Amino acid sequence: MGKKMKAAILYKPGDVRIEKIDVPKIKADEVLVKIKAVGICGSDVHYFKHGRIGDYIVEKPLILGHESAGEIVEIGEEVNDWRIGERVTIEPGVPCRKCKFCKEGRYNLCKDIVFMATPPVDGAFTEYIAYPADFIFKLPNSLSYEEGAMMEPLSVGVYSAKRGNICPGKTVAILGMGTIGLAVLQAARAFGASKIIVSDIEKLRLDFARKFGADHTLNAVDVDIVKDIKKIAKRGVDVVIETAGAVTTCQQSISIVKRGGTVVLVGLAAENEFNLDVSNIISKELDIKGIFRYANMYQTCIDLVTAKKIDVKAMISKYFALDEALKALKYADENKAESIKTMISV
């Protein structure tokens, strides 16, 4: 009988069980990673509550978690670049490496990408995972495993800022101050944005935004976002990054961006179809960009955090043990107003 490990397994909405399963066997090009920390993403909570996200349905028991870091404990026979004991953070999407998008470096668009904790692929709410050696990254000793796990959501934020071409002198509005919005904010500051305006409906998140360098924080419950941003940036902002995933904020983005500006849509709205002012998009000659996850971001994010340009540790609000996975998922779901990132330490 092989070695066993603990895993938190989702059977159906609301039903997460800690069970003993076999430690995975590695392939020749893989490493075995002892998981040390896993962040809880909004997608984990959504699967936990609803058992599906769009066409991705939990039809058999699933291990959640795709924001992870750990220590290499075994190496495949074809792996030459890694050593047992090295600390790593894990990029959760592995593409085919052969298609047009992969060859262009846009592997996030690979139709055959295998992404952790996306049914039927298991994730990292467990003690060990076997993983391709070319999609792990060295974690400096100066960073904790929990900070290593935060490289995944940070990659979304940094990628969004890059898609918006944020650079010195640009004025930026970020709508939504959850984990991704705060990551975008820190990236925008690191990239030299001259003025950053943010909005949210929760005071705690706006307090975090001020801590991370927002010049103006607007509570959408109390003010007219469009009017107030136009008072601050009379011609509109250069870049809007929408992370809230709400119809209203998507529509507001078109109104507050300047002529010739850029809107980056990051958040996924509940409604797939809604009205946008197309005449405004055309007459202002706007660039509207979507983002899907990220590509080629992990090393950049590690470098930014190591250089103390970005603080991900401050975004972690609560820690749980793996045995408390059910409690952790409930906490993340029920405390959105008081919590930014919930972390499982293994």
Q: Residues in the chain, how many?
A: 346
pLDDT at position 293: 96
pLDDT at position 1: 44
**Residue 193 burial by CB count (10 A; 0-12/13-18/19+): exposed, middle or buried?**
buried
Tell me phi and psi for residue 261, to 5 degrees.
-85, -175
CA distance 246 to 201: 12
pLDDT tens string, the chain, 346 residues long: the values are: 479 999 999 999 999 999 999 999 999 999 999 999 999 999 999 999 999 998 899 999 999 999 999 999 999 999 999 999 999 999 999 999 999 999 999 999 999 999 999 999 999 999 999 999 999 999 999 999 999 999 999 999 999 999 999 999 999 999 999 999 999 999 999 999 999 999 999 999 999 999 999 999 999 999 999 999 999 999 999 999 999 999 999 999 999 999 999 999 999 877 778 889 999 999 999 999 999 999 999 999 999 999 999 999 999 999 999 999 999 999 999 998 888 999 999 9
| Other beta carbons less than 10 A from residue 324's beta carbon | 16
pLDDT at position 145: 99
Supply the pTM of this predicted model.
0.95
CATH 3.40.50.720 for domain 156-290: yes
Site of tokens 């894990």 = 90
| Selection from 145, 174, 207, 148 nearest residue 339 by Cα | 207
Instruction: Please give the distance of CA 56 from its chain centroid, rounded to a whole number.
Output: 18
CA distance 346 to 312: 19
Site of tokens 């990628």 = 159
Reading the block at residue 231, the tokens are 């008072």
Reading the block at residue 327, the tokens are 């409690």
Interstrand relation of 287-290 and 257-265 (parallel, antiparallel or unpaired): parallel
- Judge if 4-150+312-345 and 156-290 fold alike in CATH terms: no
Please state the domain extents for the chain.
Answer: 4-150+312-345, 156-290
Q: What is the CA radius of gyration of the chain?
A: 20
Query: Which CATH class for the 4-150+312-345 domain?
Result: alpha beta
pLDDT at position 222: 96
CA distance 308 to 305: 5
Max CA distance (Å), the chain: 69
CB 74 within 8 A of CB 99: no
pLDDT at position 270: 73
Three state DSSP letters for the chain: CCCEEEEEEEEECCEEEEEEEECCCCCCCEEEEEEEEEEECHHHHHHHHHCEECCEECCCCEECCCEEEEEEEEECCCCCCCCCCCEEEECCEECCCCCHHHHCCCHHHCCCCEECCCCCCCCCCECEEEEEHHHEEECCCCCCHHHHHCHHHHHHHHHHHHHCCCCCCCEEEEECCCHHHHHHHHHHHHCCCCEEEEEECCHHHHHHHHHCCCCEEEECCCCCHHHHHHHHCCCCEEEEEECCCCHHHHHHHHHHEEEEEEEEECCCCCCCCCCCCHHHHHHCCCEEEECCCCCCCHHHHHHHHHCCCCCCHHHEEEEEEHHHHHHHHHHHHHCCCCCCEEEEEC
